Amino acid sequence: MNRIDKRFNEIKAEGRKALIPYICSGDPSVEMTEKLVYALEEAGADIIELGIPFSDPLADGPVIQAAGLRAFKGGYRIDDTFRIIGNVRKKSHIPLCIMVYYSSILGYGRERFLENCIRADIDGLIIPDLPYEEYDEFKPLVDKTSIYMIPLVGLTSGDRIPTLVKDAKGFVYCVSSMGVTGERKEFDSRVEGFVKEVKKNTDTPACIGFGISCKADVDKFDEFADGCIIGSAIIRKIAETDCDIEKVKAFVSGLR
């Protein structure tokens, strides 16, 4: 069983919702990224997303863009993410997903990328710039492995939702807002109905991300989603505290 499925089975049995933090590989360093993974798990994370920095990100807001630039400045390379996960797997079985742009996969080599995902024991892939209509370029390769390709569904997906989630595995990434990632004071009024529509069309857990930054947001979305994905707020805390592990851990624990 994929670790993501196992974790959601545990979450359901415990009667709670998933907490899924996102951090950027290589920010502030490769070594600290590994330490942050352990800290997030200790803070109550159920699944952790590791972002692979990209020079021209489609979905990333300014906070995550800045994290990627810091990683590149420190000499980050894609192989560093595989090394981080390989090290983590010696100590932890927490489900791990990589968020990566398809352009990066093409530049790295599709088969080589997937082979290293298998070798590092990754559980899921989130590819924001690979639309459903172009899944045939890569998904058949992924489906031959135990790795899940996590679908992203947006507020404007509308009639396409049944198609987008029909073969969903792991969880569905429900994008709460139009535009890029980043903390928000207000959310679109359609979010609840949108998530409920996703859940009507699949038994796969529906988790919501983009803009969630505090416990109040988590509490609100936990009423109708199966989990919350938080990225920019955590990355901002990492930057503001000069990656003080205990302060980052306390922030993430507070979200739980």
pLDDT per residue over 126-143, tens digit each? 999 999 999 999 999 999
Question: In this structure, is residue 256 part of a structural domain?
Answer: no
Whether 234 and 217 have beta carbons less than 8 Å apart is answered as no
Active site residue 60: yes
Whether 199 and 223 have beta carbons less than 8 Å apart is answered as no
Is 38 in a helix, a strand, or coil?
helix
pLDDT of amino acid 176: 83
Read off the pLDDT band of 183 (50, 70, 90).
very low
pLDDT of amino acid 59: 56
pLDDT of amino acid 30: 97
Does pLDDT of 242 surpass 70?
A: yes
Indicate the residue type of 3: R
pTM of the model: 0.93
Indicate the residue type of 34: E
- Supply the CATH number for residue 43's domain: 3.20.20.70
Read off the pLDDT band of 185 (50, 70, 90).
low
Question: In this structure, is residue 46 part of a structural domain?
Answer: yes
Q: How many domains would you assign to the chain?
A: 1
Determine the Cα angle at 4 with ends 207 and 25, to 5°: 80
pLDDT per residue over 209-232, tens digit each? 988 989 999 999 999 999 999 999
Indicate the residue type of 217: D
The catalytic residue among 27, 41, 60, 197 is 60
Query: What percentage of the chain has pLDDT greater than the value 70?
Result: 95
pLDDT of amino acid 180: 44
pLDDT per residue over 77-109, tens digit each? 999 999 999 999 999 999 999 999 999 999 999
Does pLDDT of 179 surpass 60?
A: no
Question: In this structure, is residue 144 part of a structural domain?
Answer: yes
Question: In this structure, is residue 87 part of a structural domain?
Answer: yes
Mean model confidence pLDDT for the chain:
93
Six-digit token pair at 94? 């927490």
pLDDT per residue over 191-205, tens digit each? 999 999 999 999 999
What is the β-pairing status of strands 227-230 and 18-24? parallel
Question: In this structure, is residue 186 part of a structural domain?
Answer: yes
Axis crossing angle, helix 232-240 with helix 62-73, rounded to the nearest 10: 50
Pick the closest to residue 53 from 69, 37, 40 (CA basis): 69
Q: How far apart are CA 118 and CA 52, in angstroms?
A: 16
pLDDT of amino acid 182: 43
First to last CA, the chain: 26
Q: How far apart are CA 114 and CA 203, in angstroms?
A: 27
User: What average pLDDT does this structure show over 146-155?
Assistant: 95
Q: How far apart are CA 217 and CA 225, in angstroms?
A: 12
The catalytic residue among 27, 41, 46, 49 is 49
Q: How far apart are CA 146 and CA 132, in angstroms?
A: 20
Active site residue 121: no
Determine the Cα angle at 128 with ends 193 and 172, to 5°: 40
The residue range of the domain holding 182 is 3-251
Question: In this structure, is residue 155 part of a structural domain?
Answer: yes
